[in-house]
Copies of this chain bind each other. A is one copy, B any other.
């Protein structure tokens, strides 16, 4: 076949490939990628995990559920500087959002849990959070025919374990992805999805260097970085980040970079909740991490961009929990608590 013949047949497909390819390449070249709706492979496990996530009987008091501090009506967090735990104890750190948390390279601000499965039971057992024991959690769950049936179906077991409780909660949490933000629509080619002002904010976000840490589909969550890289951060909060896990001095103030997805929904900001507004957070980050003082307009542009990252919030019917029966232990939130 002559060159001309090839050319004659190939020119249209080649042109199409070029147009589509440019668009795909444009999205691929951005340091932030759009979120995709989660594929649910085990709906029974997700449904079970959803009930457990909303069940306050998993706490010592019978009052605090995962949803108390990771409130899915409020962007997956609680709007507090630090959370309230068993007997109104003051939490150590700002509750991170559970939304898109499966995108994190590790869980907790200091990354001490490698994945959601190992994270999920942490707050249950934490004496200043839900403060239960594995025995108490298992006793509660196994007292309820409703839960027993579901655990049987999902795990083939007659007796649920704390590990399975955590596994089911993690399976639910993995579905809490928030696609279709305006910025994602823009990434996918709808150039009208964000305004010029918001786009200018994104360009600034990239050019000044925010994107060096806040990148990927989660706009963060994929590295540990020093908080106070250029200028030191002073906080009354004693958390030292990774160093609290590794006990290595070089890990002081190394925190997991938080996801910026849905960030407009969840003030206050930082691990100590010290920034009340996005404006304050952007100002502080510019100075501490980049040594930059943004103008008011630059700051506002970046904030405008950050507000385009709010995606579809999880939507499902309010779960109905298996009712307590005669065998279900009755919580006593006012009973004295032994020190552990």
Q: Which of A126-134, A166-174, A217-225, A264-272 contacts the other chain?
A: A264-272
Given that A313-B320, A314-B318, A334-B90 are known contacts, is A63 also in contact with B84, CB under 8 Å in the complex? Answer: yes
Find out whether the CB atom of A319 lies under 8 angstroms from the CB atom of B73.
yes
A331 neighbours in B (Cβ, 8 Å): 79-80
Find out whether the CB atom of B75 lies under 8 angstroms from the CB atom of A62.
no
Find out whether the CB atom of B57 lies under 8 angstroms from the CB atom of A79.
yes
CA distance in complex: A277, B143 (Å): 14
Find out whether the CB atom of B323 lies under 8 angstroms from the CB atom of A75.
yes
Closest chain-B Cβ to A172's Cβ sits at a distance in Å of 13
A265 neighbours in B (Cβ, 8 Å): 323
Find out whether the CB atom of A80 lies under 8 angstroms from the CB atom of B54.
no
A313 neighbours in B (Cβ, 8 Å): 320
Find out whether the CB atom of A79 lies under 8 angstroms from the CB atom of B333.
no
Given that A62-B80, A267-B330 are known contacts, is A317 also in contact with B315, CB under 8 Å in the complex? Answer: yes
Given that A84-B333, A88-B88, A334-B90 are known contacts, is A79 also in contact with B324, CB under 8 Å in the complex? Answer: yes
**A184 contacts the other chain (CB 8 A):** no
Q: How many copies does the complex hold?
A: 2
Greatest chain B CB density within 10 A among A62, A88, A264 is at A88
Find out whether the CB atom of B317 lies under 8 angstroms from the CB atom of A73.
no
Find out whether the CB atom of B80 lies under 8 angstroms from the CB atom of A321.
no
**A242 contacts the other chain (CB 8 A):** no
Given that A56-B71, A333-B88 are known contacts, is A317 also in contact with B319, CB under 8 Å in the complex? Answer: no
Identify which of B54, B88, B267, B334 contacts A324 (C-beta below 8 A): B267
Minimal Cβ-Cβ distance residue in B for A55 = B73
A333 neighbours in B (Cβ, 8 Å): 80, 84, 88
A326 neighbours in B (Cβ, 8 Å): 276-279
Find out whether the CB atom of B78 lies under 8 angstroms from the CB atom of A323.
no
Minimal Cβ-Cβ distance residue in B for A74 = B321
Q: Mark A72-87, 1 if CB is under 8 A from B, else 0.
A: 1111001111001001
CA distance in complex: A266, B328 (Å): 12
CA distance in complex: A55, B78 (Å): 11
A118 neighbours in B (Cβ, 8 Å): none
Give A44-75 interface residues, CB cut-off 8 Å to B: 54-57, 61-63, 68, 71-75
14 A-B contacts, Cβ less than 8 Å apart? Answer: A56-B74, A62-B78, A62-B80, A63-B78, A63-B80, A73-B318, A73-B321, A79-B331, A81-B332, A87-B88, A88-B333, A268-B330, A276-B330, A317-B318
Sorted from nearest, which 4 A-B pairs have the closest CB atoms? A88-B88, A265-B323, A277-B326, A73-B321
By a beta-carbon cutoff of 8 Å, the part of chain A in contact with chain B is 54-57, 61-63, 68, 71-75, 78-81, 84, 87-88, 90, 264-268, 276-279, 313-321, 323-324, 326, 328, 330-334
